[in-house]
Amino acid sequence: MSILVDRESRVLVQGITGREGSFHTEQMAEYGTNVVSGVTPGGKGKRVAGAPVFDTVADAVAETAPNVAIIFVPARFAPDAIYEAVDNGLPFVVCITEGIPVADMVPVYAHVRNAGSRLLGPNCPGLITPGEAKVGIMPGFIHTPGPVGVVSRSGTLTYEVVDALSRAGIGQSSAVGIGGDPVIGTSFIDVLGLFEADPATEAIVMIGEIGGADEEQAALFIQEHVTKPVVGFIAGQTAPPGKRMGHAGAIISGGSGTAAEKMAALDAAGVRVVDRPSAVPAAIQAALS
């Protein structure tokens, strides 16, 4: 079992002939992801990693029937790329692009929800179901199949924790990077619910960071709806108020959104909270024993 993507997923890459798009398409295909097509206006007739390139999403959908879209286009074009994917019936869209203005994402978020599609990101590393499919920029070689679901706001911390888990002999069912922008399409709560419903996931790792209230909301959800053990880590424990740390959403404002508040909320919900990424494997082993 897996969540969101598996070996049956048929992936369309928007911006496939660009530097990032072509590189990561090759990486996804090499991992075993079923990349069926790509889109670059004016690129019809080209091929990347064996996948045909079309001028529009509509043409790609008609010819290759994808069910997942991943977006590698500049920030000024990314909202339109999301609209194009959703309006052509793609049920799941992953947006890697960073730097999209919040004011642009608010109507995009509403449009995706109204269309009944799911958006992951923007400004996220994507997701992977080890041994089945990689849709994004995650380094596939650090992941191993297993019973632990991973969900994170941070890309690099995801890699650090996953590598530590794999080195400890603990595999992952799926790993999902939701992104750290203030407006994102898929929340901690969304992914926690999917892991709770996935019979192959026996425990969950949740990696949060300072800023916003997503982790506190997730803590309430865990307390009420999640029966599986959860291990949590919050980045930014020494961050000063008013300083943005990495992601646009990672800022402590008005005394709220601190690491201490988030850690306390998770602890109150029964989450095993660790103080560093390297402590995650031992906490997971204890939770599964």
Residues taking part in catalysis:
247
What sign does the dihedral 152-153-157-158 (CA atoms) show? positive
> Tokens representing 58?
């509509």
Q: Report the C-alpha gap between 220 and 269 in whole angstroms.
A: 7
Q: Which of 187, 149, 188 is nearest to 165 (CA)?
A: 149
Give 52's Cβ-side CA count (13 Å radius): 14
Q: How far apart are CA 137 and CA 1, in angstroms?
A: 22
List the strands of the sheet with 47-48, edge to edge: 47-48, 51-54, 35-39, 11-14, 68-71, 92-95, 118-120
User: Residue 105 belongs to what H/E stretch?
Assistant: helix 102-115
Q: Which residue intervals of 183-213 are DSSP H helices?
A: 188-197
